[in-house]
Chains A and B, each alone.
Chain A
Amino acid sequence: MKKEFNTIASLVEKKSKVLDVGCGDGELMKYINENITNDIRGLEISKSNVQKCVAKGLTVIEGDAEKDLKQFPKSSFDYVILSQTLQAFLDPENVISELLRVGKKAIVTIPNFGYWKVRIHLLFRGTMPITKDLPNEWYNTPNLHMCTIKDFVNYCNKKNIKINSKNLSYKNLFSQLGIFVIEK
């Protein structure tokens, strides 16, 4: 299981109701389902991942977060998780507002484009950075809207979204990944 899944799972309260948006093959859902709350379901666009989730006995809805979040009523989940897919959406701004409508809280992770290795890569090599969390070339990356931890925090402040943002400049330089709990 990915390391950040432990962190995400630790942010979810026991017995809460959770939606994992872009739940992939269901690894995080499975962990949360077994350890934290069994009231969890996922939304996933890939057919093969949907099959993997069903095989794990997880409740999964095949669908597209950009279109299908609107079917869920306001505040119908305690937590909505969006793990590392925000930058891949066509309209991340709309997705964030939908996450905050559907969930009382949203847990959002982003690959941090301000991470020092990324900065050094661009500064010295002069090519688009490739790291463990950003493994693709510029021509085949699914990431359309890369941002840094600082960018994301600034965005939330601008939109009056509550966000945890301690030690911002330190994190912006030394974290590969930003994990945030946001709420309206």
Chain B
Amino acid sequence: MNDIKKVKKLIIDKPLKLDCGQTISNFPLAYETYGKLNDKRNNAILAFHALTGDQFASGVNPITNKEGWWNYLIGPGKAIDTQKYFVICANVIGGCMGSYGPSNINPKTNKNFGTEFPVITINDMVNAQYHLLEFFKIEKLFSVLGGSMGGMQVLQFVSNFPDKSETAIPIACTHSHSAQNIALNELGRQSIMADHNWSNGFYEESNKPPAKGLAVARMAAHITYLSKKGLQEKFGRKLQERDDLKFGFDADFQIESYLRHQGSVFVDRFDANSYLYITRAMDYFDLSKQFDGNLSKAFTKTNTKFFIISFTSDWLYPTSENREIVIALNSIGKDVGFAEITSDKGHDSFLLDVPDFLNTIKNFLNTSYNKQNEKRI
């Protein structure tokens, strides 16, 4: 993970007051960009990543050497064509891909922050990333978009900065994290904390991270990203490299082997404390609460054009929750489109090659971009 020192970083020198009350300053925000900012500086898109994402949305992630998490969507000639648009993506604060997070050094102790890192919120993440606009001298973004926790950041961004983006695409998300989702996140956190190696978050000293706990957290979460139908079709009761059951607790079934694999590769690229902090930020997210229980009030000042997308088989952030955002916007006459995309791939659909989804974004962005440019002539 030493390569992580080479990732692009913006050092934010302005103090940032966090929701928890603490103030941070001179902290790093790791980012990546794709495409070129045009002369008018009106083709920039800020993409927000989900729980386990990072700034490497497209191309090859130089740290993991794997494809960027939004490679189906973003790239030259793709739905978000980087020959046309300038895409910026930053690692959220609390993350572990170069941005300020629990694995950074605490100047007070000269050791890793661990659980002494302040608890951060979606609001804090967005306020930190806002500095990218100043850094790139962008007066107004063309779009902000993201799925899952990325979608929550989109909602928070538009609410905080109502005139800073022409369009917004929240995908497969919610305006208020549900009890079920808090419960699932708690399951993951408890799994990490139950790993003896976790050591109250100070595992970097012993260099023995809670890999088992983090792997189990990932396995459990991974199930929630898929659909029952998708799992059944892909795995069914197929056995893993064996002709019959072995009457033991080895991975007899392919689905077991698959989950174990997902767990084990995840721990190589993700920090357990970051997992705790970021899931906490999601749980704390309740945009309507920030506006006295009236979600519409979060958007009264904005003229940003919204397009909201959900997926039929997503039971983690179901259509009904996404539709609540649509209703909140319609009830105050804001410009909002909405589509529920048919897919058996569950919540993960937003990361996958789902043509209707990719086309929806492409068409919405391209026609909005043409309109933006007509307006300015």
A57 touching B339 in the complex, CB below 8 Å, given contacts A71-B326, A72-B330, A76-B333: no
Q: Which residues 7-50 of A sit at the B interface, judged by CB distance below 8 A?
A: 41, 47, 50
**A51: contacting residue among B323, B333, B360, B368, CB under 8 A:** B360
**Do residues B367 and A60 form an inter-chain contact, with CB atoms below 8 A?**
no
In the complex, whether A59 has a CB less than 8 A from a CB of chain B is: yes
**A71: contacting residue among B327, B337, B359, CB under 8 A:** B327
Chain A residues with CB under 8 Å of B305's CB are 59
Residue of B nearest to A71 (CB): B327
In the complex, whether A135 has a CB less than 8 A from a CB of chain B is: no
In the complex, whether B356 has a CB less than 8 A from a CB of chain A is: yes
Chain B residues with CB under 8 Å of A41's CB are 335, 337
A61 touching B336 in the complex, CB below 8 Å, given contacts A51-B359, A71-B326: yes
Chain B residues with CB under 8 Å of A62's CB are 338-340
Chain B residues with CB under 8 Å of A57's CB are 363, 366-368, 370-371
- A139 to B194 alpha-carbon distance, docked (Å): 62
Chain A residues with CB under 8 Å of B356's CB are 47, 51
Residue of B nearest to A17 (CB): B333
What's the nearest-Cβ distance from chain B to residue A67, in Å? 10
Size of chain B's interface in residues, with CB distance under 8 A?
26
- A53 to B74 alpha-carbon distance, docked (Å): 23
Chain A residues with CB under 8 Å of B337's CB are 41, 54, 59-61
- A73 to B333 alpha-carbon distance, docked (Å): 8
In the complex, whether B224 has a CB less than 8 A from a CB of chain A is: no
**B339: contacting residue among A54, A56, A71, A76, CB under 8 A:** A54
What's the nearest-Cβ distance from chain A to residue B354, in Å? 12
A51 touching B339 in the complex, CB below 8 Å, given contacts A57-B363, A57-B367, A57-B370: yes
- Tally A-B pairs: CB < 8 A: 56
Chain B residues with CB under 8 Å of A51's CB are 339, 356, 359-360
Q: Which residues 62-109 of A sit at the B interface, judged by CB distance below 8 A?
A: 62-63, 71-73, 76
Chain A residues with CB under 8 Å of B335's CB are 41, 59
In the complex, whether B23 has a CB less than 8 A from a CB of chain A is: no
**Do residues B342 and A54 form an inter-chain contact, with CB atoms below 8 A?**
no
In the complex, whether A1 has a CB less than 8 A from a CB of chain B is: no
Chain B residues with CB under 8 Å of A59's CB are 305, 335-337
Chain A residues with CB under 8 Å of B363's CB are 54-55, 57
- A72 to B368 alpha-carbon distance, docked (Å): 23
Query: DSSP class of A's interface residues: helix, strand, loop or mixed?
Result: mixed
- A73 to B337 alpha-carbon distance, docked (Å): 17
Residue of A nearest to B356 (CB): A51
In the complex, whether B291 has a CB less than 8 A from a CB of chain A is: no
What's the nearest-Cβ distance from chain B to residue A56, in Å? 8
- A50 to B366 alpha-carbon distance, docked (Å): 16
**Do residues B370 and A60 form an inter-chain contact, with CB atoms below 8 A?**
no
A54 touching B336 in the complex, CB below 8 Å, given contacts A47-B342, A71-B326, A71-B330: no
Chain A residues with CB under 8 Å of B341's CB are 47
Chain B residues with CB under 8 Å of A76's CB are 333
Chain A residues with CB under 8 Å of B339's CB are 47, 50-51, 54, 60, 62
In the complex, whether B206 has a CB less than 8 A from a CB of chain A is: no
**Do residues A54 and B364 form an inter-chain contact, with CB atoms below 8 A?**
yes
A72 touching B331 in the complex, CB below 8 Å, given contacts A51-B360, A54-B360, A57-B370: yes
What's the nearest-Cβ distance from chain B to residue A91, in Å? 20
Question: Lowest 10 A-B CB distances belong to which pairs?
Answer: A57-B367, A71-B327, A61-B338, A54-B363, A71-B330, A59-B337, A55-B363, A62-B339, A50-B339, A62-B338
Q: Given A63-B323, A72-B330, list of 7 further CB < 8 A pairs? A: A47-B342, A54-B359, A61-B338, A62-B338, A62-B340, A72-B333, A76-B333
Q: List residues of chain A with CB under 8 Å of any chain B CB.
A: 41, 47, 50-51, 54-57, 59-63, 71-73, 76
Q: List residues of chain B with CB under 8 Å of any chain A CB.
A: 305, 323, 326-327, 330-333, 335-342, 356, 359-360, 363-364, 366-368, 370-371
Ordered by A's residue number, 14 sampled pairs between the chains whose C-beta atoms are within 8 Å are A41-B335, A47-B340, A50-B339, A51-B356, A54-B359, A57-B366, A60-B338, A60-B339, A61-B337, A61-B338, A63-B323, A71-B326, A71-B327, A72-B333
